């Protein structure tokens, strides 16, 4: 699997992730930013654990009523954070129903998911984790990113669109 060093997954390929070994850590080389909470490493699709970011085509509304492309902003922020490190240090948490590796990833010392939530460009995905709720509270209190106005939660936007 080019660009990905995840012991255990290399032995059996992605099929080995059917029953994920939760203790695997690995260095991940990013080959493409998909959106604000997903990226690719070679053929592997990775979804950041514990957050949900607006979709690429999703717009949000500022307090003054003007629209902005919050989905594109989240994707751009993901790219900026990932660029801080040559490789990401990722820990496998799960494999989702789409076959994506659900991982907690660091770019250097920065928890990527936490940084996106703190910037108001992703929300804590409470259905799966409470890890980023406090970061979300800070973003909301300071009207950062999506919290500066109105927005549909990403899961609601996907359902409608």
The answer as to whether 160 is a domain residue is no
3-state SS track over the chain: CCCEECCCHHHHHHHHHHCCCCCCEEEECCCEEEECCEEEECCEEEEECCEECCCCCCCEEECCCCEECHHHHHHHHHHHHHCCCCCEEEEEEEECCCCCEEEEEEECCEEHHHHHHHCCCCEECCCCCCCCHHHHHHHHHCCCHHHHEECCCHHHHHHHC
Residue 21 has pLDDT above 50, yes or no: no
Are the CB atoms for 42 and 4 separated by under 8 Å? yes
The answer as to whether 159 is a domain residue is no
pLDDT (tens digit per residue) in 94-134? 999 999 999 999 999 999 999 999 999 999 999 999 999 99
More confident residue, 19 or 73: 73
More confident residue, 55 or 19: 55
Residue 142: domain span: 4-153
pTM summary value: 0.85
95 CB contacts (<8 Å, ≥6 apart)?
17, 18, 20, 101, 102
The answer as to whether 161 is a domain residue is no
pLDDT tier for residue 26 given thresholds of 50, 70 and 90: confident
The answer as to whether 51 is a domain residue is yes
The answer as to whether 67 is a domain residue is yes
The answer as to whether 158 is a domain residue is no
**Structural domain total, the chain:** 1
Which CATH number do you get for residue 124? 2.40.50.90
The answer as to whether 25 is a domain residue is yes
Residue 3 has pLDDT above 80, yes or no: no
pLDDT tier for residue 76 given thresholds of 50, 70 and 90: very high
More confident residue, 54 or 25: 54
Are the CB atoms for 77 and 55 separated by under 8 Å? no
């Amino acid at each position: 699997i080019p660009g990905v060093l995840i012991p255990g997954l290399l032995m059996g390929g992605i099929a080995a992730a059917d029953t994920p070994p939760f203790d695997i850590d690995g260095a991940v080389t990013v080959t493409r930013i998909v959106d604000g909470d997903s990226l690719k490493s070679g053929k592997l699709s990775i979804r950041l654990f514990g957050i949900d970011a607006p979709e690429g085509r999703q717009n949000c509304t500022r307090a003054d009523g003007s629209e902005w492309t919050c989905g594109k902003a989240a994707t751009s922020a993901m790219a900026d954070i990932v660029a801080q490190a040559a490789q990401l240090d990722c820990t496998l948490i799960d494999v989702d129903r789409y076959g994506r590796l659900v991982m907690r990833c660091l770019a250097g010392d920065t928890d990527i998911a936490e940084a996106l939530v703190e910037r108001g460009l992703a929300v804590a995905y409470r259905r799966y984790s409470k890890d980023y709720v406090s970061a979300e509270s800070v973003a909301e209190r300071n009207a950062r990113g999506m919290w500066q106005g109105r927005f549909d939660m990403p899961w609601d936007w996907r359902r409608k669109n």
